[in-house]
Structure 1
Amino acid sequence: MLGPFESYSAALLAACKKILEKPHASAGRQGQQESGTFWRTSSEYCAWVYYTPDDQYLVSKLTDQSMVDPLNRSKNCVLPSEVEDPRHPASSIKYIFALHNHPHGSMLSKSDIRVIVDKGSMHGFETRTREGVVRLAVVAFYSHDVSNSTCDGFHQYVPVTGQIMNWTQTRGRWRCEQTGRVTWNGDGTDFSIEETRAPCFGGSP
């Protein structure tokens, strides 16, 4: 568990560093020499950024429990639906970001999008915090360096706005680009992803 933090951005960036420091959290850029070997031994880790009644943000304990893909085509960390924090009643905890890493830095998967929408249906898609209203999002961290993993960036999907964004860090400065938009069909059972390149609006950090 990490925190407490006074801002969701601080919690997010601390979690990025912590997760990418875990063993085999990065497999480098896809297509690089030995990237296939690194992929086979890589792991996904996941956690929640959540908000407590005393107006603090925390990062939950990490888990690396995964859904098994017999063909090793994908890796999916199984995020618990709820946070266990004995200091606060379960009903008082508010869910902000669902976090995990993508070893190859790939874009968010359809599974990621479905999972965060399911979690939002359970916990709500917006939370009023000390910083105003924060919108639920799923985040996938990545690093381009296998031997010295650092927080190079993350993909983010915000169900309320439909935006998919890619945040990248260069010399401590963050830049955001909208890379896609999710559109659900009329009955909410399926969706399409339109790839796009546009400036971001809202989001983190």
Structure 2
Amino acid sequence: MGCAANPNIRVRRTEDGRLQVDGPLAGPFPDTETLAAQACELMTGQGGASAGMVGSEYCALHYYAPDEQAYYLSYLSDVKRQFDTYGRKTCEMPAALRDLKRVNALILGGGHNHPHNRQFSPGDLRTTWNPSRAVDTQTGQSFHRVLYLFFRERTGVCNAYRYDHASQIISALRNGQWVPIGRTVDDSGNIQMLDGADWLP
């Protein structure tokens, strides 16, 4: 008997070559802190997502629904950018969303897990969203596009991080609040930690 398909994965390649995911898998959420906390638990709970050096990456889109003033997480993709090695895992980030109930949704960026490392890789940070901001045309509200990273510690604690493409600031989710811990210093994705800050509290 073969393995059952993961119902949380809904991804396809469009005619123009982009990866498209369905939505939503999770939400609505009132803020990005709640979204990231729930997405961390969900994404690191997939098969192999917390399996260390033999694990796998999953990725998804997160987006904002202006009519509801709420945040959502899309279904997942497990499409790889390249063949995985023991030390290098990848997931090709989707670029398109299909949510038939929220056709005016604003894509605010991507999210992915690391099975073996709680830090953003240079490759993560070299990938940019253009433009780095999204605007709700109804209200004029501006959103920074961000990349989320999720990692489950051996203790079972799920740590969430985000990279702000507009400000180039890296933050950690701690006690329900985003706390800046570092920033990128060049286009190669090199990171400078803020004074007294680290990936763990």
Q: One fold, TM greater than 0.5?
A: yes
The residue type paired with residue 156 of structure 1 is R
Structure showing the higher helix proportion among its residues: 1
Q: Equivalent residue for 2:61? A: 48
1:87-166 aligned within 5 A: 87-89=101-103, 92-115=104-127, 117=128, 120-121=129-130, 124-128=131-135, 133-145=142-154, 149-151=156-158, 153-165=159-171
Measured against aligned partners, the alpha-carbon deviations of 1:27-64 in whole angstroms (never above 9, x if no partner) come to 3xxxxxxxxxx412x11111111012312211100122
State the identity as a percent: 22
The residue type paired with residue 184 of structure 2 is R
SS at match of 1:140: strand
Q: Distance in 2 between matches of 1:136 and 1:198?
A: 25
SS at match of 1:66: coil
Q: Distance in 2 between matches of 1:150 and 1:97?
A: 24
1:1-205 aligned within 5 A: 1-27=25-51, 38-40=52-54, 42-54=55-67, 55-69=69-83, 71-89=85-103, 92-115=104-127, 117=128, 120-121=129-130, 124-128=131-135, 133-145=142-154, 149-151=156-158, 153-165=159-171, 167=172, 169=174, 172=175, 176-184=179-187, 191=188, 193-198=190-195
Q: Distance in 2 between matches of 1:173 and 1:11?
A: 11
**Backbone CA RMSD of aligned residues:** 2.7
SS at match of 1:43: coil
C-alpha change, 1:160 and 1:70, in structure 2 (3 Å) is closer
**Unaligned runs of at least 5 residues, structure 2:** 1-24
Q: Distance in 2 between matches of 1:59 and 1:114?
A: 23
C-alpha change, 1:99 and 1:155, in structure 2 (3 Å) is same
The residue type paired with residue 53 of structure 1 is P
The answer to whether the 8 Å contact 2:58/2:78 transfers is: yes
The answer to whether the 8 Å contact 1:20/1:149 transfers is: no
The residue type paired with residue 146 of structure 2 is A
C-alpha change, 1:134 and 1:199, in structure 2 (3 Å) is farther
The residue type paired with residue 179 of structure 2 is C
Using the TM superposition, give the Cα deviation of residue 106 of structure 1 relative to its aligned residue in structure 2, in angstroms.
3.6
Using the TM superposition, give the Cα deviation of residue 175 of structure 1 relative to its aligned residue in structure 2, in angstroms.
7.2
SS at match of 2:41: helix
Using the TM superposition, give the Cα deviation of residue 84 of structure 1 relative to its aligned residue in structure 2, in angstroms.
0.9
**Unaligned runs of at least 5 residues, structure 1:** 28-37, 185-190, 201-205
SS at match of 2:50: coil
TM-score of the two chains, using structure 2 as the length reference:
0.71
Q: After TM superposition, where is structure 1 displaced by more than 6 Å over at least 4 residues in a row?
A: none
SS at match of 1:104: coil
Q: Distance in 2 between matches of 1:61 and 1:107?
A: 23
TM-score of the two chains, using structure 1 as the length reference:
0.70
